Amino acid sequence: MIIADKNTKAVDLVRAALDKAKEFEDYHCFISMNEARALDKAREIDEKIARGEKVGRLAGVPYALKDNYLSPEGVTTAAARMLDNFPSPITATAVAKLEAEGAIMIGRANLDAYAHGSSTENSYFGPTLNAHNKSRVAGGSSGGSAAAVALGIVPFALGSDTGGSIRQPASYNGVWGMKPTYGTVSRYGVVAMASSTDVMGCLANNADDVDLVMSIIAGKDPKDSTTLDNFWNRELEDAKPKKKKIGIIKDFLGDGVNPEVIKTVRDYAEKMKKAGFEVEEVEMPIMKYGLAIYYIVQPAEVASNLSRYDGIRYGHRSNEAKDLDSIYSMSRDEGFMPENKRRIMIGNFVLSSGFYDAYYLKAQKARTLLINAYNEAFEKYDALLCAVAPAPAFKFGEKTDDPLQMYMEDVMSVPPSMAGLPALAAPAGTSKEGLPIGIQLIGPRKSDQMLINIAKSVEEVA
């Protein structure tokens, strides 16, 4: 990551990023650009440097902001028609921290509307193309962020991860993606999806940049009662694995997983052995229930969080509405994408009278069993290894007519989310068609930097 100093102008860094964004405009990484304000901020930083004043750790570094983070610069849409003209009155805590260190947002990155999706095909503004193959999806929901980093437009981008929305697009585009421990980064100022699993993280082209960005945005925030005290304040050297043992989740090496993905995971395991780790397979039968647990709990929270978008307080209001009932029904019908509606209906169903105990309550009990299974595994292993997704990036339209097939893309990424655990996606290989394949390292709570350390040690012997 290049930082502005006496020899490197912030204006030049920002202009280069903006030029690249225009060069790759057909990939549709961005919903909107922040050109004028970004250049103004860059000039301010250059003037500070010229005067010998102190500047931040990210002085002049351009970045892409997933468009579900609120900021007064531009319009925060969450890629939804419901918010296609919403100027935010506040700034997300993570954004404020980055800007305090001199980072400069050049544009708002595309995503699935309200972050509901695994392909960015659910964006009201159109899909983002995969950085390595234009016929393939960029993944979701942080597809725009991942593609912008992979194309070299920006050195890092902010994303959000509820069930894999940072890790899966990172894997599809061949970049690094960090889903931190739940509560590591404040959720204040980010459009809510599922509040018990939403986490804020980043995507970058290398592990050191991930560590730097996360160290800046992590920490306690009085505006978000779920945030943890900042444990990201130590050097990577102080976060070394203690047991030097890694468990490969055997349950994700069988039917339904692309053979090239399985080979990539096994090849990565061999590299880990060369790096000094003991690696063995571990059976976790509860994993087969992870997706079912997630797609009961998550839609329930989605339905609750999206109930505020009613055409009355803010957001889209239908021009055809004639009375209060039609304002609610028509505004929501027009403002939400099909996937948003699907999750609202599922969520309201599992929370409804007569079904709450059978579905939602049972899912929460199973969630506890999932957490216990992870805790038991971590008594023996430093971290767990598996793929991020069952296959490399798929073709546009391949899964849009089959929601169950689309949801299966999340089968490996949702279990750590349900347990609130950190998970790091790292590039690990490519398919015969040249599509990136990533691996996923999962660790105990607050072991985020240890996961980065493990991945770095594997890189050194690769």
What are the backbone dihedrals phi and psi of residue 326, each rounded to the nearest 5 degrees, phi first?
Answer: -75, -25
Let me know if 229 is exposed, middle or buried by CB neighbors in 10 A (0-12, 13-18, 19+).
Answer: exposed
Residue 181 is given by DSSP the state P
Active-site residue 171, yes or no? no
Cα separation, 440 vs 426, in Å, equals 7
Q: Which helix (H) or strand (E) holds 64?
A: strand 62-66
What single-letter DSSP state applies at residue 115?
G
Give SS3 for 287: helix
Which is catalytic among the residues 71, 88, 118, 141?
141
The secondary element (H helix, E strand) that includes residue 156 is strand 156-161
Exposure of 376 by Cβ count < 10 A (0-12 exposed, 13-18 middle, 19+ buried)?
exposed
* Cα–Cα separations (whole angstroms), residue 268 to 274, 383, 457: 10, 14, 12
Q: Is 179 a catalytic residue?
A: no
Distance from the first to the final alpha carbon of the chain? 22
Of the residues 9, 20, 66, 271, which is catalytic? 66
What DSSP character marks residue 259? H
Amino acid sitting at position 236: L
Which residues are CB-neighbours of 291 under 8 A, at least 6 positions away?
407, 408, 410, 411, 414
Distance (Å) of CA 197 to CA 45, 91, 204, 254, 332:
36, 21, 22, 27, 24
Of 418, 415, 437, nearest to 426 by C-alpha is: 437
Per annotation, catalytic residue among 118, 123, 165, 413: 165
Distance, in Å, from the CA atom of 105 to the CA atom of 99, rounded to the nearest integer, reads 8
Closest CA to 196 of 414, 447, 450, 424: 414
141-160 residues labelled b (16+ CB within 10 A) or e (exposed): bbbbbbbbbbbebbbbbbbb
213 vs 76, 158, 199, 299, 367, CA distance in Å? 22, 9, 15, 30, 30
CA dihedral 25, 28, 30, 34 (to 10 degrees): 20
Tokens representing 187 are 């959720």
Q: Are 299 and 347 in contact (CB under 8 A)?
A: yes
Q: Is 331 one of the annotated active-site residues of the chain? A: no
What residues are labeled active site?
66, 141, 165
